[in-house]
Structure 1
Amino acid sequence: MTNLKVHGTAPQDLEGDLASLRGDCARMAEHWSAPAPATALPVPPSLIHGVTVPPTSARLLDAMSDYGD
């Protein structure tokens, strides 16, 4: 059987104003953390060896006038 117990509290005023919503968000903020920003490192040109396209995709693109002309 399904356990229907809810762990947590719901906002008191479901039809509240912006101040109520901001208060709810402020209380929730401590439970959430943002991940550390990921930085992309540049790839040296010596590691770039081209692109491989499957023959079926190449035929499809060749049949399209935008790409095949």
Structure 2
Amino acid sequence: MTNLKVPGSAVLGPVGEPDGDLATLRGDCARMAGNWAAPEAVSVLPVSPALIHGVSVPPASARLLEGMSDYGD
């Protein structure tokens, strides 16, 4: 829940948006960004095609995906 007494926070959006609008969210994120350090770069080596043997999908997951529309639900 948004703390309405934070100094410098943006004005909340319409009544239908209890936590504010996109501008409020972006402002909150910008203020919090300094609290977290970016992870160090991870180098990933390519996998040889000879090591790729296919994908196994459990039957329940396959049925779930089959029931979804092409663009997700």
TM-score using structure 1 length: 0.40
Structure with larger RCO (C-alpha < 8 A, sep 6+): 2
TM-score using structure 2 length: 0.38
Larger of the two Rg values belongs to structure: 1
